[in-house]
Amino acid sequence: MNRKLFTLILLLLFTFSWANLSYAEKKAEEEKAPKEEKKVLVFRDEFKRDTPQGAMKGLVDATKDRDYEKAAKFLDIKYIYYNQVPAELARELKVVFDQKLWIDIDNVNNTLEGSSDDGLSENQELIGVIHSDQTSYDIILQRDLVDDIPIWRISPKTVRDIPKMYNQFGHGVLGKFLPPVLLEITIFKVTAGEWISLIIIFIFSLIVSIILTKLIIFILKIFKIKRTLSFFNALLWPIRWLFVLIIGRNLFKIVAYSVEAKSILKISTIPIIIAAWLLFNLIDYLFDIWSSNQRKQGKRDIIVFYGLFKKALKLLIIFVGATIWLDNLGFKVTTIIAGLGVGGIAVALAAQKSIEDILGAMTLLGARPVEIGDFVKFGDKVGTIEDISLRLTKVRTLDRTVVNVPNSIFATLQLENYTSRDKIRFHPKIHLCYETTSDQLHCILVEIRKILSSHPKILEEPLRVRFVKFGTYSLECDIFAYADTKVYSEYLEISEELNFSIMNAIEKAGAQLAIPAQNIYTQSRESIDKESVEPSE
C-alpha cells in the first residue's frame, strides 16, 4: 500500500470518526436520559439562574466566551479565601470540566425546584462526579435567595474544591510550558495547545519508531537471520505505525488532555487500519512464498487459486474491520449486515454465471484434471492449455487459434489429457495378401516379435504379435506394444523405425501387403458373337 495514500485515508477516516464519535456519544446520552416535558418558564433573574439548567447553561456559555467575570456570577463565593479571585476560579473550573466532565446541558433539570431523587437536600442539584485516585468531587448546584430571588449557583463546597481539582486535573505539563493563550483558543473544540502537543508527540513517536525498526534490521543483518529479516521487511511500515501508536498512547498519558481531546484518542479507526494493513502485508508475504514454491514444482496454475483465496481473505478483513469500526462509532451493525445480506442475494442472482465460472475455476484448480501447458482433447477439439483464469480457460489449437471456454462449461466436459500419459501405445494392423503361405506368415510374426523385443524403447510387457483373423481381402495381424516415452515427437521416430523394420521383414519373407481391390473380368464382343452363332452340340 502506498504510504502517501495510507496517510490520506488515515486523516480522512480520523476526521470522520471523530465527528461521528462525538455525535454517537451525545446521541447515546440523549437516549439514556429520561425525557421531560418542556415548560415555558419566565426567568426573574437576569442571568437566568432560576433553574439548574439555566445556571449551567449560563456558566458554560460564559466560559466558552472567556468572560470569566460573568462566569463568576454563577459561583457561590461567600466562603472563598481572601486571596482567591472569583474570575480565576471560574477559569479553573472551566479547565476541570474540559478535562474530566462532559456536561450535557439538555439533560440538566429545568424546573425551579430541581430534582428530588438525587439523594441531596431540596435546595441542591447534583450535576456530576469527578473521580480521582485519592478521592472524588461532587459538582453540586445550590439554590439560595439573592435579592429575594431564588437562584442556582455552584455550591460553596464545590467552589472551595476548585483549586484542589485544578491541581489534579488542570493543564499539567501543557500549562507549565505553553502560553495561556494557546490553552484558550479552540480548534474543533480542542485547544491549540493540545493540538500542538498531539503533533509533537506524533512526530516524536514516528522518529523513535523509525529508529527502533532500523535498529532491529541492523541486528538481524549482523546475526544473518535472513528469513526473519525478509519477514520483518515485508511488514516494516505497518510495524512502524504500530510502534507509533504504542509509543504515542503511552506519552498521551503524561499530558492532561481535555474530554474532547481524549475522545480523539479513543477512536479505534487508527488501530483498525494498522491491524488491517499488517494482515494485508502478512497475507502477501505468505502467498508470495507459497507461489514461489508452486512455481518451483511446476504447478503454475494453482497460483490462480491462491490469488483468488488471497483476495477473499483481504475482503473478509476489510468487512470485519469496517464492522468493528462502525460498531465503535455507535451504528447498529446488525441492521447494516442484514441490509448487506439482502443486497448480496440480489448481486449473487445477477452474477450467477460469473459465480459458476469461478466455481468451475476452483474445480479445475482443485481437482487438477489439466494444467497449464498440457495437450488435451475437449469435445471435438484438441489443443494446449495456455491459461486458467477465474472466468475462462484459454486453449491454443493445432491451427494456432485460441479458444476461450467458460470454466463452468470446460469443467463439465470430458477431458482427455495426452500430456499426463506415462507411455504411448504402438498398435499397427498388418494386412497380408491371401497369396501368403503359412510358412511365410509364421516367419513374419516371429521376425516382428524379435524386432519389438530387441528395441530399447519398447517395453517387454505387454507385447503381442498375433495372426487374428481371415479378413475380407487379407490376412490380418495385430501388433500391440508400448513405447517407453511421453514425448509424442519421440514416439513418431520410434514408430517410423519399427515400421521400416516390419516392411523389411515382410519383403524378406517374400510376402506382400494386401491392397483392397476388385477383380473385373471382361470379354470381347467378337467372342460373344461367335458363341451366339455356333450351334450347340
CA distances from 191 to 179, 287, 340 (A): 12, 47, 40
Q: Which of 207, 276, 185, 98 is nearest to 199 (CA)?
A: 207
pLDDT of residue 6: 52
Beta-carbon contacts of residue 94 (< 8 Å; ≥ 6 apart): 63, 68, 71
- The DSSP annotation for 274-343 comes to HHHHHHHHHHHHHHHHHHHHHHHTT--THHHHHHHHHHHHHHHHHHHHHHHHHHHTT--HHHHHHHHHHH
Place of cell 471382361: 522
Q: Which of 112, 140, 258 is nearest to 195 (CA)?
A: 258
pLDDT of residue 292: 82
For residue 462, is the peptide bond before it cis, meaning its omega torsion is within 30 degrees of 0?
A: yes
Other beta carbons within 10 angstroms of residue 366's beta carbon come to 9
Place of cell 507509533: 244
In whole angstroms, what is the distance from residue 230 CA to residue 228 CA?
6
Q: pTM of the full predicted structure? A: 0.51
Give how far the C-alpha of residue 243 lies from the chain's centroid of Cα atoms, to the nearest Å.
23
Radius of gyration of the chain (CA): 47
Q: Which three cell numbers stand for residue 173?
A: 505539563
In whole angstroms, what is the distance from residue 153 CA to residue 1 CA?
56
In whole angstroms, what is the distance from residue 440 CA to residue 506 CA?
8
Q: Which three cell numbers stand for residue 303?
A: 497460483
> How many contiguous H segments (helices) and E segments (strands) does the chain have?
18, 14
CA distances from 361 to 277, 292, 351, 411, 493 (A): 29, 21, 15, 8, 37
Sign of CA dihedral 313, 314, 318, 321: positive
Q: Which of 77, 148, 143, 149 is nearest to 114 (CA)?
A: 143
Say if residues 372 and 387 touch (Cβ distance below 8 Å): yes
Three-point CA angle 434, 435, 438, nearest 5°: 85
State the DSSP code for 117: S
Q: Which of 449, 463, 444 is nearest to 503 (CA)?
A: 444
Half-sphere exposure of 238 (CA within 13 A, CB side): 19
Half-sphere exposure of 313 (CA within 13 A, CB side): 16
State the DSSP code for 105: G
Say if residues 511 and 440 touch (Cβ distance below 8 Å): yes
- The DSSP annotation for 334-368 comes to HHHHHHHHHHHHHHHHHTHHHHHHHHHHHHHHHH-
pLDDT of residue 36: 47
- Give the H or E element holding residue 412: none
Q: Which three cell numbers stand for residue 247?
A: 509509543
Say if residues 264 and 187 touch (Cβ distance below 8 Å): no
Q: Residue 242: is it exposed, middle or buried by C-beta count within 10 angstroms (0-12/13-18/19+)?
A: middle
Tens of each residue's pLDDT in the chain, 537 residues: 455 555 555 555 555 554 454 444 555 555 544 444 445 556 688 888 999 999 999 999 999 888 999 999 999 988 888 788 999 999 889 888 888 888 889 889 998 888 877 778 888 999 999 987 778 999 999 999 888 889 999 999 999 999 989 888 887 767 667 776 677 777 777 778 878 888 999 999 999 999 999 999 999 888 888 888 888 888 999 999 999 989 988 888 777 677 667 766 666 788 888 999 999 999 999 888 888 887 777 666 566 667 767 887 888 898 888 888 877 766 776 666 665 565 555 555 555 666 676 677 777 766 677 888 889 988 888 999 888 877 788 899 988 899 888 888 888 888 888 888 889 999 999 999 988 899 899 999 999 999 999 898 899 888 999 999 998 888 999 999 999 888 888 999 999 999 999 999 999 988 888 887 655 556 555 555 555 555 544
pLDDT of residue 7: 52
Say if residues 9 and 277 touch (Cβ distance below 8 Å): no
Beta-carbon contacts of residue 352 (< 8 Å; ≥ 6 apart): none
pLDDT of residue 57: 93
Write b or e for each residue in 69-93: b if 16 or more Cβ atoms lie within 10 A of its Cβ, otherwise e: ebbbbbbbbeebeeeeebeebbbbb
CA distances from 211 to 206, 240, 254, 493 (A): 9, 9, 22, 68
